[in-house]
Structure 1
Amino acid sequence: MKDTRQKWFKDAKYGLFIHWGLYSLLGGEHKGQKTEHIAEWIMNYLDIPAEEYRELAKSFRGENFSAEDIVRRAKEEWGMQYLVFTSKHHEGFAMWDSKCSDYNVVKASPYGKDVLKEFQLACRKYGMKFCLYYSQAQDWDDPDGYAYGKDNSHKNFRKYMDNKCIPQLKELLTEYGEISILWFDTPMDMKEEESRELIELVKSYQPACIISGRIGNGLGEYLSTGDNFIPRLTYEGDWEVPATLNDTWGFNKDDENWKEPDDILRLLLKIVSRGGNYLLNIGPDGTGKVPERSCEILSEVGKYVRENAEAIFGTKRVDLYPYDLEWAQLTRKDHKLYVHVLRPQMRIELLNVANRVKGAYLVRDGQKLVCRARKICEGDSMVEVDLPADLKRGRKYAVCIELEEEEPIFEPIRG
């Protein structure tokens, strides 16, 4: 079981992932050829030579980018609690003023400003946990960095580690204040001792910095699931689902396969119910502008999250309920069970709730509701909550049922 031993991560539940780099300029297409894969991998999948790909930096102006606006909206409007930014993706381009490689946003692009410093200051201003993604094994620009699906047998990976990976990690850990998570990715053929070396490096500078599960070799302090994959059942320990709003991470101008706000809310509540965190991605375009549809979806979901924050943040995983509720998701705290009603209901009926019920109220405004516990004719327990007339056709609100005991929450079906 993975354990970060950090309360903030266990309570956070909802974070913002940001993929922004040179790949954002291409938007999924290079010289008339479109990638059939995720857009930030375009260099790898279309076999763009490093020297040709580097030319993109000369066009990276970020004229519509605002770290402060993104962080403010994420915290105040979208309801997110932590931010993970791609400091260096597999393309090898550093989004800060790296001293060990001039291939970075300050020295090689007309944008000329340190993106990480901008995010660091904005996160401090708005009380957002500042976390960084770093591709530790893949680096398609460095001749000795790994590349997925390519021949890596001739590469001196140790040389890449010593000359780029480790020096850049030291920069991140010493020049940008508190880093709450270092989000590593795609360890490829890294040996266990190499993964441990990076963990020890991080902890030597920032002991409280959490190491993501993708450091490799079964190490890391929490489980990072597969992209957009949710554990089927409740899962013990600390874990996180990295996920997209459409089908890609980096900006793709042709990807209009957006999830609906209702889908995102349902996924968030399902993950929280099972004990995990939801790290949801945006991919600004080459100018730094966040796609409008991303903002619209996140704002609609954020309204629910902010109104029902008590029933989302700081909650615990819910034990396996004996029934599959298509109309609701359940979250909990000690002595409280939250019912997130996602479809219109005449009344709320919960079978096989084992605890005595003290009361029920509407989370978003504290309105007390009529609530009763009884036995049905088969002998199973049932909790009923009457909904006011104006809510019977409403949707997306959380009803809190306060329980007298913490355990057990549910009882088995008597059959």
Structure 2
Amino acid sequence: MKAYLLGLIGVALLAGTAPSAEMDTMWGESTVKLRAENAERGELFDEGNYAMFIHWGLYSQLANRVDGKTYYGIGEWIMDPKMANIPAEEYKELAGTFDPTDFDAKSIVQLAKDAGMKYIVITAKHHDGFAMYHSKACDFNIVDSTPWKTDPMEELSAACREAGLGFGFYYSHSQDWTFPGGRKGPTVDENGKPATFDDYFTKKCLPQVEELTTQYGPIELIWFDTPGGMKKEYVQQLVDIVRKNQPKALVSGRAGHDLGDYQTLGDMEVPHHNVEGMWESVDTTNDSWAYAWYDQRWKTPKKILHRLISCVGRGGTYMLNIGPTDKGAVPDRAARSLREAGEWIHRYPQVVYGTDASPWQHAMPWGDVTVRGDRMFLTVFDWPDSGQLFLPGLKTEIVSAHLLHDEEAEPISHESVRGWNVFELPSGAPEKLVSVIEVKLASSPEVDPTFGLDPNKGTEILAEFATVDGAKIVKHRWMEKFGEWLCVHPATNWKTGGKAVWEVDVLTPGDYDVRLTYTGEGRLVWGVDVVGGEHIQNQQNASHNYQEFPIGWLHFPAPGRYNVAVSCLEGNIESSRLKSIRLIPLSEYQKPSKRVASTAVK
């Protein structure tokens, strides 16, 4: 897919970042809309919360290998100068051998259904310009240019309707690397005359969007991508076509110019704080969106569930990508992970579908929370050895609590301890992947979102939740390899005396091991304070990337609320970027059990 400012890629790789404002322009990320007022329009998006993305095209045939050389990165960009730099005419010749005889639309739809996904979005045309459907607007398409001579979109749309899943198209509306006038495409036409973007837009883009919105039945959404410098009037014409032909369909935020219906975050970005409005995170089952022969770094079922529930818990939708092979088959390991995660979702659908975001507005050390009315679902990824699970800050009365397992609901006891709720749990987790506690409340939940220091394993708190003075919270994106984006929000631009401060709630007093995750240049001295109390500081080397470093032990003398402050004191402080602080109770290393009654003030 996927969009970057290519002129900035070298800088991004060297400096570890790219200007976020320019990235947002390329991706079209700025769109934020409120939830759809019409329940029929966008209902699957708003309530289903989980979808399948499919990146499949001529690039799948190359699978990131050209002339015997492997290019590491996202396969759908293989043409690009930063990858294999394939000339347009040479690339178009690939169509003559593209014969995906293993493609099975019903099998892919069944996989999506088994995975618990509610709709499918597939690449109808990516930046390479090849239409994966029978387009009359350009003969560079899967029916007219390949020996297969089949329109997979007909089969896939029909299979989705039969299975009760929604269906939608990805369409690269600005970039077209093989059609004259498309962004980054040929600058002259077949007659050698100069080609303009208007030529591309009127001859190919506009008629193809007309085709996609009229030839395949009801469409759930049209997923435009990488508007870049595309003028607003062009985007508006495309949106108008969608509105006319598919009035119930959504338009992705990457259409550009705030003309989409919802916000799409950056590639592979799962937020850590709740995001207002209707939004999605787009992610992939390994590192590349399109099939890459070498890429076997698959997400485990637990990782898929963790990222899905993180999105739902922050108020959004998760769209997870698969990259079929050149023959149209889904890699077996990806399918296995999706199905195993889906088995869990089918047992606990109330956790994922039609739920609201966590009122805490952030994850918990042990997992996350989703809400439906007066019921909360605590998803426990890290089962506590102590037999107690700690939930801070809940103000609403608990009526009952049950540990769910398949169709059984085992009552569990709980008590309130100084504003914390403590649940008594069995020694072993009932679920291999994620265990679920259903908490029925007297009314809709009200909470104090202050971070509590978990007595079992402590708590990591990200810098983006800090109040800063003499520093700045920024969005920091970088690529591990071409197209594999990571994103954090560190505290940086430190000045002398600058501080990042968090309020924390301490249930179990005593000594806590303090660890900071940061990056920078050279050796840095960090100071950590309990405001009005103990101060510690230490020097550690910086890493080229974010790494956790121990700083020392900090003492909290009694239960209660404290402000904890971090400062970069010495070294190249301007280069330092603080991602998080972690505070671990020293009792964690002793693994005590049932300790709250004896150590906490009730």
Q: Which has the higher strand share?
A: 2
Q: Alpha-carbon deviations, 1:213-272, whole Å to 9, x = none?
A: 100123211110000012231011011111111111010001122233222211111111
Change (3 A) 1:172 1:4: farther
Equivalent pair of 2:47/2:353 in contact (CA under 8 Å)? yes
Q: CA RMSD in A?
A: 2.0
Query: Could you tell me which residue of structure 1 aligns to residue 33 of structure 2?
Result: 2
Superposed, which structure 2 residues align to 1:7-406 within 5 Å? 7-45=43-81, 46-75=84-113, 77-147=114-184, 155-320=195-360, 325-345=364-384, 346-363=387-404, 364-374=406-416, 376=417, 379-384=418-423, 386-388=424-426, 391=429, 395-406=433-444
Equivalent pair of 1:24/1:285 in contact (CA under 8 Å)? yes
Counterpart of 2:276, as a letter, is: E
CA distance in 2, matches of 1:246, 1:156: 37
> How many angstroms does 1:388 deviate by?
4.3
CA distance in 2, matches of 1:155, 1:36: 32
CA distance in 2, matches of 1:280, 1:288: 18
> How many angstroms does 1:141 deviate by?
1.0
CA distance in 1, matches of 2:158, 2:353: 24
Change (3 A) 1:54 1:336: same
CA distance in 2, matches of 1:312, 1:393: 16
Counterpart of 1:311, as a letter, is: V
Equivalent pair of 1:136/1:185 in contact (CA under 8 Å)? yes
Name the SS of the counterpart of 1:111 in structure 2: coil
Equivalent pair of 2:381/2:434 in contact (CA under 8 Å)? yes
CA distance in 2, matches of 1:395, 1:60: 39
> How many angstroms does 1:347 deviate by?
3.4
CA distance in 2, matches of 1:403, 1:409: 12
Change (3 A) 1:411 1:220: closer
Q: Alpha-carbon deviations, 1:355-390, whole Å to 9, x = none?
A: 11111224432413123342x2xx324142x33456
CA distance in 2, matches of 1:37, 1:111: 28
* Greater mean deviation of Cα atoms: 401-410 or 288-297: 401-410
CA distance in 1, matches of 2:232, 2:219: 23
Name the SS of the counterpart of 2:203 in structure 1: helix
CA distance in 2, matches of 1:216, 1:371: 51
Name the SS of the counterpart of 2:80 in structure 1: helix
Structure 2: where are the runs of 5+ without partners? Answer: 1-31, 37-41, 189-193, 451-504, 506-559, 562-602
Name the SS of the counterpart of 1:43 in structure 2: coil
Equivalent pair of 2:378/2:437 in contact (CA under 8 Å)? yes
Name the SS of the counterpart of 2:107 in structure 1: helix
Change (3 A) 1:15 1:392: closer
Equivalent pair of 1:269/1:329 in contact (CA under 8 Å)? yes
Counterpart of 2:62, as a letter, is: L
Name the SS of the counterpart of 2:295 in structure 1: coil
Equivalent pair of 1:243/1:280 in contact (CA under 8 Å)? yes
Counterpart of 2:263, as a letter, is: L
> How many angstroms does 1:47 deviate by?
2.1
Change (3 A) 1:337 1:409: farther
Equivalent pair of 2:403/2:412 in contact (CA under 8 Å)? no
CA distance in 1, matches of 2:136, 2:419: 67
> How many angstroms does 1:393 deviate by?
8.3
Counterpart of 1:337, as a letter, is: M
CA distance in 1, matches of 2:226, 2:361: 35
Task: Report the number of matched residues.
Answer: 407
CA distance in 1, matches of 2:176, 2:323: 20
Q: Alpha-carbon deviations, 1:105-135, whole Å to 9, x = none?
A: 1111111111110111110111111011011
Change (3 A) 1:163 1:142: same
Q: Alpha-carbon deviations, 1:134-165, whole Å to 9, x = none?
A: 110111110111129x989x650011110000
Equivalent pair of 2:390/2:420 in contact (CA under 8 Å)? no
TM-score (norm 2): 0.65
Name the SS of the counterpart of 1:175 in structure 2: coil
Name the SS of the counterpart of 1:289 in structure 2: coil
Change (3 A) 1:4 1:355: closer
Name the SS of the counterpart of 2:234 in structure 1: helix
Change (3 A) 1:211 1:358: same
Change (3 A) 1:365 1:218: same
Change (3 A) 1:393 1:269: closer
Name the SS of the counterpart of 1:93 in structure 2: coil
Equivalent pair of 1:50/1:140 in contact (CA under 8 Å)? yes
CA distance in 1, matches of 2:299, 2:47: 25
CA distance in 2, matches of 1:328, 1:119: 36
CA distance in 1, matches of 2:432, 2:218: 43
Identity %: 36
Equivalent pair of 1:321/1:410 in contact (CA under 8 Å)? no
Structure 1: where are the runs of 5+ without partners? Answer: none
> How many angstroms does 1:84 deviate by?
0.5
CA distance in 2, matches of 1:132, 1:244: 17
* Greater mean deviation of Cα atoms: 139-148 or 79-88: 139-148
> How many angstroms does 1:288 deviate by?
0.7
Q: Which has the higher helix share?
A: 1
Change (3 A) 1:366 1:187: same
The structure having more radius of gyration, on CA atoms, is 2
